[in-house]
A = this chain, B = another copy of it.
Amino acid sequence: MNTTDIQALLARIDELESRNALRDLVSDYCHGFDKRDWDRFRAIWWEDCVWDIGPPFGVFEGHEGIRNAVYEVLYPFWRETHHLTTNLRLSFETPDIAHGTCDVDCMGADVEDNFLVVGATYNDRFERRDGVWRIAKRQVQMHYFNPLPGARMQGPQG
């Protein structure tokens, strides 16, 4: 293989690794938020990020804004959440800028013990800076946000 071939090969492997790194960010959003692991959750975002959740919650910016969203807005509303993300579709604008779309099904209970189901799509902008991939912007498109009447969310021995 000549140098050009090797560079092309390394670029392909780099993209394969980037796809895994981006998939990990999308997973860590769920694990960090649902398991209330702030360090994991914060680590997915760039400091100058935007988290545009939209109604009924709002738009939040930077690590401080995200911390406020989590601790002042979302956790006071939700007693527990279980986000399941699927259908992750990635595309690369450059080797260091990527766009993602995935769907989420979230089941949770609010602090008043209602069993809620939420369906949404996340549209993400990812940026790699100094070799590290993080989320620059996540925009949430909410499809539905409903109680399941009569259902309760409780543990197997609850």
CB contact under 8 A between A84 and B107, given known A17-B16, A145-B156, A156-B55: no
* Secondary structure type dominating chain A contacts: mixed
- In the complex, the chain B residue whose C-beta lies closest to that of A152 is B146
Q: Which of B34, B56, B146, B154 contacts A153 (CB 8 A)?
A: B146
Given contacts A82-B144, A86-B86, A143-B155, 20 further A-B contacts (CB under 8 A): A24-B89, A24-B90, A26-B87, A27-B89, A30-B86, A30-B103, A31-B89, A35-B121, A55-B156, A56-B156, A80-B143, A83-B87, A83-B103, A84-B84, A84-B105, A105-B105, A145-B154, A147-B151, A148-B148, A148-B150
CB-defined A-B contacts under 8 Å, sample of 9: A16-B16, A16-B17, A27-B88, A80-B144, A85-B87, A105-B107, A143-B155, A145-B154, A148-B148
Number of interface residues, chain A, beta carbon within 8 A: 56
Say yes or no: is A117 at the interface (Cβ < 8 Å to chain B): yes
Docked-complex contact A144 and B148, CB < 8 angstroms: no
Q: Which of B12, B56, B83, B119 contacts A107 (CB 8 A)?
A: B119
Q: Is the CB of B150 within 8 A of A149?
A: yes
Q: Specify which chain B residues have a CB less than 8 angstroms from the CB of A153 in the assembled complex.
A: 119, 144, 146
Decide if B154 touches A151 in the complex (CB within 8 Å). no
Give 1 or 0 for each of A101-134: 1 = CB within 8 Å of chain B CB. Answer: 1110101000000010101010000000000000
